[in-house]
Structure 1
Amino acid sequence: MGRTIVKLLVSITAILAVLLLLSPVSADHHVGDQKAVLITGATTGIGRVTAEQLAAAGFFVYAGARKDADLDELNKIDNMMAVRIDVTKQEQIDAAVKLIKEQGRGLWGLVNNAGVNVVAPMIEAKESDFDFLFDVNVFGVFRVTKAFAPMIIESKGRIVNISSISGVLSGGGYGMYAGSKHALEAMTDALADELSDFGVHVSAVNPGNFASEIGLTRCKRLLEDKSAGDWGLFEDRRQEMLSDCKERLDAGVKNEGTPPDAVARAVEQALFGENPRDRYLVVPRQVEAGWTIAKAIEEMLALNVGHEYSYTRDEIFQLIDAMWPYASGEKSWDDPEDETEMTMFMEAWMERQASEKD
């Protein structure tokens, strides 16, 4: 019911999610119960840290990777089995389903983490770059989720999609990547609505700029792409980026920034917490929360002004006050009394607006 109401006021709910989901998270679970989780893209960065933290907490982790050396490394970790899975290859996904079924543990959780990044101005981007990026970030999530959904439904488990603050933000050069994460946000909402009737909860985790290999991988791809043409009006930016990438790689820079431990904790909460949230914003700096909140508010206000059915400032804040306890966890959509209370409020709120228009 909560997601149904949220559909009517997406922007406002996004603001509440951003405002309220910045606190540290901790999971409520029984350590050692050996619930099994599959994490795609578990070789480095967020995927690797999450896999290691969950395994250390006593859960069994199927860690997705593509290369033999990475598979060997992951198999050395207790409570972990490496699974060869390239999210762009259906045959590997199908083989992973077969393998995990054969293990007999079932599957409680799926973490769609595998992702790539490509940077280019929209009017200079190549269609092949779009294809590559969306094949991993969007269609990869679709393929893996569809393949493992029967196992998750059987266990009444959890799905966690690793989105990004770029699921809210965008900017010059990041249109392709942000577009893929905006798509993932919409997919997450739809999937959550569809699977709620089967006892499955779906969450999105929106990390900020934590230490990750994704930027270095993007740099390597940019330097190795001999077919890339110049960026026309934006060529000076491309040259700056090439110079920066070469400098970083020559210096042996690997993972710059804050380690993503907080992201892993958010994933653990989403997978095993008693009351999982719909969204988790996890950022290493206050300014990143500020960017994201400001953008959500800007979009909400832009949608609200200049048309016949816009709401007043007081009406908007009345709605925010009513929804705040649900976003903060003080009330729950799953509680029948809370759900009834909010439904009645929404009906009265909308009817009042309708009567004023008459």
Structure 2
Amino acid sequence: MVLGTMVLSRLSNTLEEALIRHVTKLVVLLATVLGTARLGAQNPAAQKAVLITGASTGIGRTMTELFAFKGYFVYAGARKDQDIADLNKIHNVQAIKLDVTSKADIAAAVTTVERGGRGLHGLVNNAGVAVAEPLIEMEEEDLTFVFDVNVYGPFRMTKAFSKLLIASKGRVVTTGSISGILSGPLLGAYSMSKHAVEAYTDALAAELGRVGVRVSVIEPGGYQSEMGRNVVRRMEERGKKIEGSMFEKELRGLLNSTTAESRDPKPDDVAQAALHAVFDPAPKARYMVVPNQRQAEGTLRKQILELVQLNEGHAFSYSRDSLVSMLDQALKRPK
């Protein structure tokens, strides 16, 4: 009986000690979590900040939600009051009124970010628009509309925030498209703008690389977005007629497909690519993100065809073996 009592006493003591150790660990963990949260509240600079344009829907909204969920602070740019209100409901997000064609909006955004005290680790130039029309039937105003957002927008934003980005040795990421590699009928203006984004990214990377800022382009394929519906809405607002167009049949098919329920996947993979570009220690220059093998093959075959065309019919062309050797060298390059 005495032995049993001693055993029970020792067991009780052991359980009590284990419980104390367990509770102590929980208290320390809770204190750490609360301390980190308090540090972020008291010292905004402890939480890395990113500004994302075109954050109200589609790819931009998905990026905003992912970055915020990962614990980063997101300045989410949007044009409409309702979109701003919706974005402000997301934890770690501060929505700002931002039209990338408005110098006043951009200047106000710079002031907001500076006053936030977090600096700026990353700028994601995501805002984009498109029009659908044959180039020879298109008004110059429509071409200007596309370039003003898709090309001049990233130019304006990056220039305006360059001091903050250089100070943080941060990242500039622009949403391009596989349409910056491929081109086809009806979306010529959009494709032209995305080709320009490719060149802009290369030049900017060479320039900002000198001051420690890394630059990347995301090249999505077909994912869910509001762009198609916006194309139709703009045509309706401008009273565009497709009757008599040299591409009337194709244009009707395109417009019908954009108003139908999208079967394209959600752009989660695109957002993950942007997250890697902004925060990974070794970001890639290009992120082609496509939902299927067909789009990947079509994009790569286009690049290969252009290589062949560039190599044909001049005094300095290379043999097949030399081209294969160049490919091998490129595949072995430091990542």
Partners of 2:276 and 2:232 in 1: CA distance: 32
Partners of 2:256 and 2:61 in 1: CA distance: 29
> Which residue pairs with 1:107 in the alignment?
120
Number of paired residues? Answer: 293
Per-residue deviation, 1:198:
0.2
For the 8 Å contact 1:37–1:107, the answer to whether it is kept is yes
Partners of 1:231 and 1:170 in 2: CA distance: 23
- CA deviation map 1:225-267 (0-9, x unaligned): 2155755322333344455556x3xxxx3x5410000000100
2:59 counterpart (46, 52, 55): 46
In the alignment, structure 1 residue 206 sits paired with structure 2 residue 224: no
Partners of 2:257 and 2:66 in 1: CA distance: 33
Higher RCO (C-alpha 8 Å, min separation 6) = 1
- CA deviation map 1:120-171 (0-9, x unaligned): 1111111111011111001111111110111100100000010000010000
1:168 counterpart (157, 181, 197): 181
The DSSP-based 3-state class of the residue aligned with 1:120 is coil
> Which residue pairs with 1:277 in the alignment?
284
Judge which range, 82-91 or 220-229, deviates more: 220-229
Judge which range, 124-133 or 187-196, deviates more: 124-133
Partners of 1:49 and 1:100 in 2: CA distance: 21
For the 8 Å contact 2:186–2:251, the answer to whether it is kept is no
Partners of 1:244 and 1:144 in 2: CA distance: 32
Match for 2:271: what amino acid? A
Per-residue deviation, 1:315:
0.5
- CA deviation map 1:167-201 (0-9, x unaligned): 10000111110000000100000000000010000
For the 8 Å contact 1:231–1:238, the answer to whether it is kept is no
- CA deviation map 1:314-353 (0-9, x unaligned): 0011111112122xxxx24xxxxxxxxxxxxxxxxxxxxx
For the 8 Å contact 1:203–1:276, the answer to whether it is kept is yes
Residues 307 and 42 (structure 1), Cα distance of their counterparts in 2 relative to 1, 3 Å cut: same
Which one has a bigger Cα radius of gyration? 2
Partners of 1:231 and 1:271 in 2: CA distance: 47
Partners of 1:235 and 1:134 in 2: CA distance: 25
TM-score, L = length of structure 1: 0.79
> Which residue pairs with 1:146 in the alignment?
159
> Which residue pairs with 2:47 in the alignment?
34
Residues 43 and 228 (structure 1), Cα distance of their counterparts in 2 relative to 1, 3 Å cut: same
Partners of 1:205 and 1:239 in 2: CA distance: 29
Partners of 1:149 and 1:236 in 2: CA distance: 46
Superposition map of 1:1-358 within 5 A:
34-226=47-239, 228=241, 230=243, 232-244=245-257, 248=260, 253=261, 255-326=262-333, 331-332=334-335
**RMSD over aligned Cα atoms:** 1.8
Partners of 2:244 and 2:196 in 1: CA distance: 26
Match for 1:121: what amino acid? P
